[in-house]
Chain A
């Protein structure tokens, strides 16, 4: 390219697995406080490890070795996924550690439980970020500088909080109805009095890979690396950055191996270097190389989910709202007691997936919801969750309330640090 402006691609992959709740009947309430489906969670983790995490990590490691400093990626790995790696797939954890050691992989901050806490409680939100931060330090010797919230949920208020926590940038969604005439392909900043940098997902190009890659009725099918690069080249020359944000499970899980998704990933850097002026950068590199083009205010919460790009995948219908509010109503009482098992259950119940399962939007996006849903209906998800919550409340009722000063920092996974195993 003849252009002096650096043009960069920023890859961010989300890695997340929830602790799914086991079928929990009314009869279990008050008798059985074992909420999570160990067998199912282990089974899914092993399956996704074999189909996605291990082969995708191998592909990325090869690319980094091949292209040296020119190829970079970033990950956000939820605390619940990290715990499941430790428990069920230490080989995956090891391969992530290997990637991080190359120095060409950036790890991002997020809430430990992949929760919606930002919508309800600043204290819980910050507590979970710090908790995740400690886990990153312990497992990878790494301290994230850039933040991304669960499902890219963002609003001005959240921007203020994370800026106050010292984060330099945030990743969020760049959908049309939020940006209006503006392009997602610039660096933005939060506001005049908030220097927080904003990286916006280019949802067209991201979703071409993540959602449409194997759709035969899509005009772009089959998607080749050459075709993708011509689309990159078609971006106006003054636009600086293309943020390709997607679930890591895109590779091998949402798009099966047989679709050619791994070959696509493997050959993309060569195609980019050969036919375009783009380079790959990490989010931190992006913010040091580029200057924010404008301020971007988001008074209402946005996310990367569904056509609406709002919160309606998790909240908004009566069952979701009731479950969510009933859970967070307990926050003060949970914090007032000193029981590590209770704290851990409280944390894992906050994972956003539980509310996603209760979504009743059955049309275009409903398909996606169904695919990821272990329940036959959103009502079943609600009934199960509320049974668990009812038992959780009985346990809370039975807890002695303790002095404030004695509240321990919850550690997750019984406080065990398995770094030594890596």
Chain B
């Protein structure tokens, strides 16, 4: 009997700001293809419809009394449910209250018992975000009473309370999927309320799925999670859009690329430091830092102060086909993450045939063979690895060809099969 899963996520393509949205999409698509029925719940979706097999709807179009809307996907077995909500991925309680994103929801007072618990966690700051999380959980509980399913599956801390609520009200088992922990996002300077929400959620889970051994170890060491409850399922990568191809500039230049959120977690500092060392040897190489985040302006200032502004370029957020366009221009892709639970962009770069250098502190380093692996803090090794790839065609070709083959084998079918195993064990 194929299971039917109620899944809680944050975002869905094309409105994504990071790897989590891509991962949720890839996983639920592969699950559906394997016969598992997926009810995918996301915070409110707006704007353009995705051209893929999923039909996304705006909650305001088909609103139900409970404040959510749902529709059948074109792909059999997947239903998407949109909850009207201001929740955003990759936010922190501090950033959320700064941006005023929660303002529209201030009037929502009808938050039930979940709220009391959460409010005590939030410690007086970032209240709006915790209200949102609580409200999401409340609607989740309502959905759980109205829908038929066998298992609940929630992705990362914002949806943990929703997963817990849905599991409790339905009595169905709970899978919590950890794509990143508070320690990955914030280093040692963690938000206690977020940490507590993660920790308590993990205690309620029947099974925890970690995207890497690195993440599993953090869950055990930092959250006291039971190692026997944790399953490591490495992410897969979606096939590259068919129409993408390498488009070289007319004038020859060598390009070293960083693509990701420009935040502490991603190690942008080390990229700039390595760039400075590489430019000492190869003064005409161009470096690109693509993405945005709270460290973007400091990085621009740093590059300027080091007099590297004419060699290190900043693109801001790249969406749509632009990341592939950038990979097409790149000679090396560098992922110097300080703590990277997985790092799907490394696989995407490999799909485009770009040699990759990843930090050892990444999940991708656990599964890739055709990649150079360095410690994120070892800037000298990072720099000499970059120079090595740029100067050595045979090395670059080896990494490119081998890596591309490797990435092509890493679709979502394998990970989906492992997740199905998890379901079958606890149903």
Contact = CB atoms under 8 A, between A and B. Distances in A.
Interface string A280-303: 000000000000000000000000
B309 A382 contact: yes
Interface in A368-402: 379, 382-383, 386-387, 389-391, 393-395, 397-398
Given A27-B325, A27-B329, A383 B253 contact: no
Given A382-B309, A386-B309, A394 B300 contact: no
Give the size category of B's interface with A.
20 to 34
A386 B286 CA distance: 11
Interface in A7-50: 25-27, 29-31
A387 B253 CA distance: 13
A69 interface: no
Given A379-B300, A382-B304, A31 B250 contact: yes
Nearest to A330: B310
B288 interface: yes
Interface in A270-324: 317-319, 321-323
A326 interface: yes
B251 A397 contact: yes
With a 10 A CB-CB cut-off, give which of A26, A394, A398 has the most chain B CB atoms. A26
Contact of B314 (A326, A383, A394, A395): A383
B301 interface: yes
A391 B253 CA distance: 10
Contact of A26 (B251, B303, B313): B313
Contact of B300 (A27, A382, A391, A397): A382
Contacts of A322: 303-305, 307-310
Contacts of A30: 249-253
Interface residues of A, number: 27
A174 to B, nearest CB: 33
B284 interface: yes
Given A318-B304, A322-B304, A322-B307, A383 B251 contact: no
A325 interface: yes
A321 B304 contact: yes
B304 A319 contact: yes
Contacts of A393: 284, 310
Contact of B249 (A31, A317, A318, A319): A31
A8 B371 CA distance: 77
A394 B251 contact: yes
Interface of B: 249-253, 284, 286, 288, 290, 297, 300-301, 303-305, 307-311, 313-316, 322, 325-326, 329
28 contacts: A26-B313, A26-B326, A27-B322, A29-B253, A30-B250, A30-B251, A31-B250, A31-B251, A318-B305, A319-B304, A321-B304, A322-B305, A322-B309, A322-B310, A323-B304, A323-B309, A323-B310, A325-B307, A326-B307, A326-B309, A326-B310, A382-B304, A386-B309, A386-B313, A387-B313, A390-B310, A390-B311, A394-B251
Q: Sort A-B residue pairs by CB-CB distance and give the 5 closest, nearest first.
A: A30-B249, A318-B304, A322-B304, A322-B309, A326-B310
